[in-house]
Amino acid sequence: MDAVTYPHPQAVAFFANYLVPVRVLATSTALPQRFKVHWTPTLVLLDADGEEHYRTVGFLPPEELIPTLMLGIAKSYFERGQYAPAAQFLEQLLAAYPKSAAAPEATYYLGVTRYKDTHNPGALKQTAEALQTNYPESEWAKRASVYRLL
C-alpha cells in the first residue's frame, strides 16, 4: 500500500483529518504480539485508551481504503455509544462511496445505530429493505433479513 494507496492525495488528506497513523516495523515484536498482527498490511483502529475497535488485513486501493476506514471510525463511535457521530460517518460513507465493499456493512450499522439511538424498530425494517434493494447478495442483507418482519 506504500506505493499506491498511502501516497494518494485523498488518503493523505483522510489520515491528516481523522487519524493519527502509527507505523510499526515488520521487525517489531511487542505491538504485533499485543494486537495479534500476523500479516501485513494490517490496519488497526484504536481509541485514545488503546482499545481496538476495527481492523482490516490486506491490500486496499485508495477508493476502498477511505470507506473502510470511515466504517471503522463509525464502529468505534458506535461501540462507545456515541450514535450521532457514528451515524454521521456512515451517512457520509454511503453518500460518497455507495458502491464500495464497505457500503453494505455501513448500511447495516446505520440502521442499527439509528435503532440504538431512537429505539424505533422502523429503523431496522428500513435497513433490511435498503439492503435488499441496494445490496441483495451481500452478507449484510442476509443478516438484516429478519428485520423485514418488523
* Helices and strands of the chain, counted as H and E runs: 7, 2
- Asked if residue 114 has pLDDT above 80, the reply is yes
4 part of a folded domain? no
pTM beyond 0.85, yes or no: yes
17 part of a folded domain? yes
What total number of domains does the chain contain?
Answer: 1
CB 149 within 8 A of CB 128: no
The pLDDT, as a whole number, for residue 25 is: 82
C-alpha cell at 45: 483502529
User: How far apart are alpha carbons 147 and 143 in whole angstroms?
Assistant: 9
pLDDT digits 0-9 by tens, 3-43: 778 888 999 999 999 999 888 887 888 988 888 998 989 99
- Asked if residue 1 has pLDDT above 80, the reply is no
CATH of the domain at 49: 1.25.40.10
| Maximum average pLDDT range among 18-22, 49-53, 61-65, 96-100 | 96-100
Identify the domain containing residue 41 by its residue range. Answer: 9-149
3 part of a folded domain? no
Q: How confident is the model at residue 132 (pLDDT cuts 50, 70, 90)?
A: very high
CB 1 within 8 A of CB 56: no
2 part of a folded domain? no
